Amino acid sequence: MRYRDSYIEDALSLNNSGNKIIDIKVNDPISTLWLRFKATNHSTGPNADSPITRCISSIEIVDGSDVLYSLNGHQANANAAFDLGKMPNNTYQEEGTLTQTAQIPILFGRYIGDPEYYLHPGKFSNPQLKIAWDLETVNSIGANGFEDGSAELTLIAKIMEDAPDPKGFLMTKEQYSWETDASGDERIDLPTDYPYRRLMLRSYEAGTSLTSAITDVKLSVDNDKYVPFDLHAKDLARQMPDWFGYFTQYMKGYGDDSDVRQLWLDRDLRIQLTPQYDDWNLGVLTAYAGQYTIYMRNEDGTNTTGKPWKCECKGACPESTLAYPFGDQMKPEDWFQAQTFGGIRLFVTQGNAGGDASVFIQQLRAYE
């Protein structure tokens, strides 16, 4: 079996917002689609707390009305992190004129180059990628946002020639989204069509911990005849480093003393800041709920402003996302066989209002 990388789109220029449909005109098996979305910060900057992933509202792979993959930028980034065992190679930086990139691999197998599970375009009529974006999601074009007309998209297919017949492919989709309430259970009916490899639950609100907005999580099968898990969210989060390890996020910030910055990680935060220049002092005043407050001083102890720094952060929940893996992630026979049950419901107990919450699942879909 031979591998090769092929451009489907190479640095395609995009408008500041819109929708784009791209035909996946590849005949050979695809192990991974590598999506790179890019834009440039406006020269006046800083483009603070605006990672390019926030601007991607939807990434879909469809075959007509059949949806094979459907996540937003934050979900896709988290899902890729769990697949890879590390954060994707994104470039987050705030200073004016610098470029930001979301480099998100979409894996259709258990790992890149999986010869048993992959996307076989020949099994579908007209596979397409659909992407929706808006650079003005967080900040306006110009001033403290992105440069007008700077968006661009690259799409690369990692192709496997002479691959054996596939057993199926991994299909990852959002199942439900809502805004969290101050209390009470959100009851979510989940599909019973294909086996689950991994269930993911995201809740993000600036300044609020993931496990404050979501306090308990329970998966009920056939009215509690079988309960795969019923856990406090904090205990689920505490187990995640054992399952997935710690994730490291790199970014470049720019700003003033006492500025607050988001980390796009949550739980067990370990932050290291490095000045871009060596003529001032830099540190972390506080770190909690996926964000940190910056301590910046000149050598004489006075406050300083308008400085760039580098940030390296380790945490356990990429994009404020909890993930529950079903069994050995390399053994499909271990995964949750949802198709053998009559009804599956997720109960999410809430503890804080205003969180942007969603449930998304990675499933094993066999070819018919």
- Domain holding 299, by residue range, is 247-315
* Residues 251 and 104 both lie in one domain: no
* Residues 252 and 163 both lie in one domain: no
**Are the C-beta atoms of residues 196 and 362 closer than 8 Å to each other?**
yes
Give percent of the chain above pLDDT 70.
Answer: 99
Q: What is the CATH number of the domain that holds 74?
A: 2.70.9.10
In this model, does residue 43 exceed pLDDT 80?
Answer: yes
In this model, does residue 23 exceed pLDDT 90?
Answer: yes
Confidence class of residue 368 from pLDDT cuts 50, 70 and 90? confident
What pLDDT, on the 0 to 100 scale, is given for residue 110?
A: 98
Domain membership flag for residue 260:
yes
Domain membership flag for residue 320:
no
Round to whole Å and give the CA distance between 120 and 299: 60
Give the range among 16-20, 140-144, 163-167, 286-290 with minimum mean pLDDT: 140-144
- Give 296-342 pLDDT, tens digit per residue: 988 888 888 899 999 999 999 999 999 999 999 999 999 999 999 99
What pLDDT, on the 0 to 100 scale, is given for residue 141?
A: 75
What pLDDT, on the 0 to 100 scale, is given for residue 355?
A: 95
Domain membership flag for residue 104:
yes
Give percent of the chain above pLDDT 90.
Answer: 88
Domain membership flag for residue 239:
no
Domain membership flag for residue 136:
yes
What pLDDT, on the 0 to 100 scale, is given for residue 304?
A: 84
* Residues 279 and 156 both lie in one domain: no
Write down which residue in 144, 167, 190 finishes a domain. 167
Round to whole Å and give the CA distance between 156 and 159: 9
- Structure tokens belonging to residue 365: 């879909």
In this model, does residue 362 exceed pLDDT 90?
Answer: yes
**Burial category of 136 from C-beta neighbours within 10 Å (exposed 0-12, middle 13-18, buried 19 and up):** middle
Q: Which phi and psi (to 5°) does residue 334 adopt?
A: -85, -15
Domain membership flag for residue 324:
no
* Residues 128 and 271 both lie in one domain: no
Domain count, the chain: 2
Q: What is the mean pLDDT of residues 101-120?
A: 97
Write down which residue in 104, 133, 167 finishes a domain. 167
